[in-house]
Chains A and B, each alone.
Chain A
Amino acid sequence: MPKGSDIFLQNVSKVVVFIILAFALYLFFTGHGSPGGGFIAGLMSAGALLLLALAYDIETVRKVLPVDFKLVTASGLLIALLTGAGALFFGKPFLKHAFGHFELPLLGETELHTALIFDLGVYLAVVGVTMTILLTIGEDR
């Protein structure tokens, strides 16, 4: 596609993609106390990347994010698996989650828990699967 033929779409996308990604990040972290979580955040992020692919093309998405999304899925699964299996090393039942209150520099007192790491796994798996499906179907072969 010659550059400039979709000037509105492309320029709006440049802004909107970051808003969507920021919203996805918000959904990801808010999942414990309010609606949100890894699954919807993953879908939202994949949606942002899809918008990029629509406004430009798939090659641009590949250039912006030069990763193999199948491996993103695998990393997500691995993170989730290790979070669950971590409990085994502390003599706790599988999937037992730990949490604690920490004093963080910018945020003040924050509750951190391993369920968030599990959610990160879900997030990566969802992004990976969705993008693999989109890119595989989208490719002309």
Chain B
Amino acid sequence: MNNLLVLPVLLPMAIAVFLMFFRKNIRLQRVLGVIGGIANVVIAGVIVHRVRTGGIQTLELGGWAPPYGIVFVADMFAALLVLAASVTGLAVLIYSFASIGREREEHYYYTSFHFLLVGVYGSFLTGDIFNLFVFFEVMLISSYALITLGGSKKQMREAPKYLLVNILSSTLFVAAVAYLYAAVGTLNMAHLSQRIAEAGQGGVLNVIAVLFLIVFSLKAGLFLFFWLPSAYGAPPFAVRALFGGLLTKVGLYAIVRTFTLIFPNDPSFTHAWIAGMAAATMILGGIGAAAYRDIPRILNYNVLIGVGFVAFGLATGTRDGMDGVVFYMLHDILSKGLMFVLGGMLIAAAGSDKLDRMGGLIRSRPGLGWMFFILALALTGIPPLSGFAGKVLIVRGGLEDGMVTLSLVALASSLLTLYSLIKIFREAFWGTEPEPEAAAEMLASGESDDRQPPRAESGRGKQTTLASASAVLLLLFVIGIGLAANGVHGFAAQAGATLDNPGLYIEAVLKE
């Protein structure tokens, strides 16, 4: 009995429901959101501490012992992800104050925001596969609201595709759960793992495993990412930061959890699929990031490269690979959130999302420029920053496992990440400023869909400060994780140990 575990879900849910009563009171919505966000970071920190000192924590909801009731499980992996997600959530919330606009704020923006966090934390913490589906839906329905909120032409064009893909994949998810339940007769993940190990994974169970892989890949953007680059280009940047930082990571978490806990017994079949999909994702993501010359697309394809990297780490199936997966996902949640926050600030400052139409911003916004530069290095994996340790561990795992080609692909994709982000840095921040008439003309003609809504000039300074504050908050973590890589590795190794040995998880949940 350990009610602490349900608090990360309960708190944002309470805030979301409470805020429905005060739709017009923006100040209250903001203040409550920040207080809740800080509280959640603290709670997540306490959970991480508890797991560190006391091992895997479980909470049997309603007091029903597993496998009969739903159980919340916080192993180190889940706890770390909840912590990273709550930090990113808090930062994106602050960035929303600066960028989202009063119109959206009055139409339940913060309610949807907090419900999305409910879904994300719940997905990380639950130990029941159908409950995982429910939290996925909580998260997705909030994301539907967020992607359509505002109703611009571009959002209306992209939202139906996004909805269609996710409804399809959710239906497949239910079908996959039904097959799994028919095959082994339980829904608790630990119990599932035990039963599948007993029955011997093969034949039907491998088919179900691949079905789960397809479902989660659709959500995470692993190879089946055709919907992602355009869908993530539609909503405002604060929402994109939330999506890029959290949504794909929940899909990835589900892949990692499923294939380390439930279906780890036939890696020559399942993990070969994952390896192939990871390679394709990294190659295609890299090509996309290098090819485009508008900022939203470059950023969206960079999300994909990160997804491919984590899947590669999982596919290696080695201890190093697992530690790397944990480390890299931590880094990815924070840095992808930061990437979209900075991207949004950059586009707001330049008034355009096309690289050809900007330049010379380093003179007016030096802070933004250097933050973007550090982020580019962090995403590439330059040693003192957060991306390095994860990439090293994953590639070392790959080489241990003899996946030389895949390791080279991973390294090449890092190079393309660097190229694509430095391209933005070089062309937007250096060089000469574009002709003012051209920019004004383009704004007037409404050619760019990514313009920030026009707002009063007087409020501008405060808004920039808020946006910078959220970027600095994330940047501190991105640098901090890199500098304290040795300390963080202790946590990541504890998480990797559980991923590597599902017996620890089963023992903690079923208490045998």
Residues of A within 8 A of B (CB): 70-71, 73-74, 77-78, 81, 84-85, 87-88, 91-97
The answer for the CA separation of A77 and B14 in the assembled complex, in Å, is 9
Residues of B within 8 A of A85 (CB): 10, 14
The answer for the CA separation of A87 and B18 in the assembled complex, in Å, is 19
Contact B18 A78 (CB under 8 A): yes
Contact B59 A94 (CB under 8 A): yes
Instruction: Tell me the minimal C-beta distance from A112 to chain B in angstroms.
Output: 18
**Which of B37-45, B60-68, B323-331 binds A?**
B60-68
Contact of A81 among B10, B59, B61 (CB under 8 A): B10
The answer for the CA separation of A96 and B3 in the assembled complex, in Å, is 11
Given contacts A93-B62, A94-B10, contact A88 B17 (CB under 8 A): no
Q: From DSSP, what is the main secondary structure of chain A's interface residues?
A: helix
Given contacts A81-B13, A93-B61, A94-B6, contact A70 B1 (CB under 8 A): no
Contact A88 B3 (CB under 8 A): yes
The answer for the CA separation of A20 and B60 in the assembled complex, in Å, is 39
Given contacts A88-B3, A93-B1, contact A70 B61 (CB under 8 A): no
Contact B13 A93 (CB under 8 A): no
> B20: CB under 8 A from chain A?
yes
Given contacts A81-B10, A85-B10, contact A95 B17 (CB under 8 A): no
Instruction: Tell me the minimal C-beta distance from B110 to chain A in angstroms.
Output: 13
Contact B21 A96 (CB under 8 A): no
Contact A94 B18 (CB under 8 A): no
Given contacts A81-B10, A85-B10, A88-B3, contact A94 B61 (CB under 8 A): yes
Determine the residue in chain B with the shortest Cβ distance to A80: B17
The answer for the CA separation of A40 and B3 in the assembled complex, in Å, is 31
Residues of A within 8 A of B1 (CB): 91-93
Determine the residue in chain A with the shortest Cβ distance to B59: A93
Q: From DSSP, what is the main secondary structure of chain B's interface residues?
A: helix
Contact B20 A74 (CB under 8 A): yes
Given contacts A81-B10, A85-B10, A88-B3, contact A95 B62 (CB under 8 A): yes
Given contacts A81-B10, A95-B62, 11 further A-B contacts (CB under 8 A): A71-B21, A73-B20, A74-B21, A77-B17, A81-B13, A93-B1, A93-B60, A93-B62, A94-B3, A95-B61, A96-B63
Instruction: Tell me the minimal C-beta distance from A75 to chain B in angstroms.
Output: 8
Over the window 52-72 of chain B, the binary record of Cβ atoms lying under 8 Å from chain A Cβ atoms (1 yes, 0 no) is 000000011111000000000
Residues of A within 8 A of B10 (CB): 81, 84-85, 94
The answer for the CA separation of A97 and B3 in the assembled complex, in Å, is 15
Residues of B within 8 A of A (CB): 1, 3, 6, 10, 13-14, 17-18, 20-21, 59-63
**23 intermolecular pairs with C-beta atoms under 8 Å apart:** A71-B21, A73-B20, A74-B20, A77-B17, A77-B20, A78-B17, A78-B18, A81-B13, A81-B14, A81-B17, A84-B10, A85-B14, A87-B3, A91-B1, A92-B1, A93-B59, A93-B60, A93-B62, A94-B6, A94-B61, A94-B62, A96-B62, A96-B63
Residues of B within 8 A of A95 (CB): 61-62
Contact A92 B17 (CB under 8 A): no
Contact of B3 among A74, A77, A93 (CB under 8 A): A93
Instruction: Tell me the minimal C-beta distance from B8 to chain A in angstroms.
Output: 12
Instruction: Tell me the minimal C-beta distance from A88 to chain B in angstroms.
Output: 5
The answer for the CA separation of A74 and B17 in the assembled complex, in Å, is 6
Residues of B within 8 A of A93 (CB): 1, 3, 59-63
Determine the residue in chain B with the shortest Cβ distance to A125: B17
Instruction: Tell me the minimal C-beta distance from A126 to chain B in angstroms.
Output: 15
Residues of B within 8 A of A87 (CB): 3
Residues of A within 8 A of B59 (CB): 93-94
Instruction: Tell me the minimal C-beta distance from A96 to chain B in angstroms.
Output: 5
Residues of B within 8 A of A70 (CB): 20
Residues of A within 8 A of B21 (CB): 71, 74
Instruction: Tell me the minimal C-beta distance from A22 to chain B in angstroms.
Output: 30
Instruction: Tell me the minimal C-beta distance from A70 to chain B in angstroms.
Output: 7
Residues of B within 8 A of A74 (CB): 17, 20-21
Determine the residue in chain A with the shortest Cβ distance to B17: A77
Instruction: Tell me the minimal C-beta distance from A120 to chain B in angstroms.
Output: 15
Residues of A within 8 A of B61 (CB): 93-95
Residues of A within 8 A of B3 (CB): 87-88, 93-94
Determine the residue in chain A with the shortest Cβ distance to B6: A94
The answer for the CA separation of A39 and B2 in the assembled complex, in Å, is 30
Residues of B within 8 A of A97 (CB): 62
The answer for the CA separation of A96 and B1 in the assembled complex, in Å, is 11
Residues of B within 8 A of A77 (CB): 13, 17, 20
The answer for the CA separation of A103 and B3 in the assembled complex, in Å, is 33
Instruction: Tell me the minimal C-beta distance from A116 to chain B in angstroms.
Output: 15
Contact A92 B63 (CB under 8 A): yes
The answer for the CA separation of A87 and B62 in the assembled complex, in Å, is 9
Instruction: Tell me the minimal C-beta distance from A89 to chain B in angstroms.
Output: 10
Residues of A within 8 A of B62 (CB): 93-97
Determine the residue in chain A with the shortest Cβ distance to B16: A77
Residues of A within 8 A of B20 (CB): 70-71, 73-74, 77
Instruction: Tell me the minimal C-beta distance from B58 to chain A in angstroms.
Output: 10
Instruction: Tell me the minimal C-beta distance from A6 to chain B in angstroms.
Output: 36
Residues of A within 8 A of B17 (CB): 74, 77-78, 81
